[in-house]
Amino acid sequence: MRGYVNDINLYYEDKGQRDAVLLVHGFPLNCTIWTPQVRALAPQYRVILPDLRGHGRSDAPPGPYTMDLYADDLAALLDHLQVRRVVLGGLSMGGYIAFAFYRKYAGRVRALILADTRAGADTPEGRERREAGARLAEREGSAAIAAQMLPNLLSPRTRERRQALVARVQSMMARTKPVGIAGAQRGMALRPDSSPLLAGIDVPVLILVGEDDIITPPAEAEQMAAAIPGARLVKVPHAGHISTLENARAVNRALLSFLAGLHRP
Ligand code: MLT
């Protein structure tokens, strides 16, 4: 489906009924990284999956796309869908956006799911790498970024045994428009440190991390879990940075158990 929100056409999927769960993808991917979770959750929950601006089937205006801008897109999408409060999940950049959303719209967040992400901002070197990545995408196209990112994205096991999944992730990245890649890279470089936010988060939090994630490693997830009161941490076996696809069964089990807990008095 498509909605005109915050001055762009945003593509989204909206499946199931009742309590809403909004799941936000990472960079430079699209909403289909959450497809296995829709199958598991939609019988009980309303699952909303946007393609972020610059990604998938959504518009790709010039960036930078700050995490605040993305948060505003999501708030506008929820307004469009007449949804007030959600369980908000984000993977990697989706997690950076979840922090921005919580900062701006805490009252709309029922619980947070932080998957393969981190709270910290970029280092100066990290910001330089992002600018170089933005320029590479603009100069040589998205396939160059896909080739650069692929080796670090998935676990050794996924790379060895699941060629179809590897090809799917590579083509997802290669199909993201260069302007979208550049906009997101420059926006992520501008994001603030969300660590000071962690101690004050007062909604239930589930943290997921692939055991073999080398982009946002388990140590980062442990730090977040230690800083957020009552956070639950689940390490996903045999998964790298895209745990939702690499070990969907374990992720789905963790999500269903966390969501069921929200209903208990
Ligand atoms: C992502 O998966 O969203 C990115 O790897 C995040 C990042 O570049 O920091």
Ligand 1, residue 95: give the atom nearest the CA: 3
Which of 92, 173, 185, 186 for a ligand 1 pocket mutation test, highest count of atoms within 8 Å of Cβ? Answer: 92
| Residue 216 Cα to ligand 1 middle (Å) | 8
Quickly state the pLDDT bin for 220 (edges 50, 70, 90): very high
Query: Are 246 and 155 in contact, with CB atoms under 8 Å apart?
Result: yes
Give the Å distance between the CA of 27 and the centre of ligand 1.
Answer: 5
- Tell me the CA–centroid distance for residue 76 and ligand 1, in Å: 23
Ligand 1 atom 4, closest CA: 27
Contact at 8 Å (CB) between 187 and 222? no
- Testing ligand 1's pocket by substitution, the residue of 52, 188, 208 carrying the most ligand atoms inside 8 A of its CB is 188
Cα(228) to ligand 1 centroid in Å equals 21
pTM for the model stands at 0.98
260 C-alpha vs ligand 1 centroid, how far in Å? 29
| Average pLDDT value for residue range 244-255 | 98
| Mean pLDDT, rounded, for 202-214 | 98
| pLDDT tens-digit readout, 114-136 | 999 999 999 999 999 999 999 99
- Give distance in angstroms: CA of 94 to centre of ligand 1: 8
Average pLDDT of the residues in 144-173: 97
Alpha-carbon span 53 to 225, nearest angstrom = 29
At 35-76, the pLDDT tens digits run: 999 999 999 999 999 999 999 999 999 999 999 999 999 999
Nearest-angstrom CA–CA distance, 122 and 156: 26
Dihedral sign of CA atoms 145, 148, 154, 160 in order: positive
Rounded Cα distance between 251 and 61, Å, is 33
Q: How confident is the model at residue 263 (pLDDT cuts 50, 70, 90)?
A: confident
Q: Give the tens place of pLDDT for each residue, 226-244.
A: 999 999 999 999 999 999 9
**Alpha-carbon separation of residue 1 from 11, 26, 29, 57, 168 (angstroms):** 6, 20, 18, 10, 22
Q: State in Å: Cα 82 to ligand 1 middle.
A: 30
Q: Are strands 46-50 and 8-15 parallel, antiparallel or unpaired?
A: antiparallel
Q: Prior bond to 178 cis, omega within 30?
A: no
Q: Which CATH number fits domain 2-121+192-261: 3.40.50.1820, 3.40.50.9100, 3.20.10.10, 3.30.160.270?
A: 3.40.50.1820
**Alpha-carbon dihedral of residues 246, 64, 176, 58, nearest 10 degrees?**
100
* Atom of ligand 1 minimally distant from the CA of 241: 2
Cα(80)–Cα(223) distance, integer angstroms = 36
Across the range 173-180, mean pLDDT stands at 98
- Report the mean per-residue pLDDT for the chain: 97
Specify the pLDDT at position 264: 60
Ligand 1 pocket by C-beta < 6 Å: which residues?
A: 26-27, 92-93, 188, 215, 241
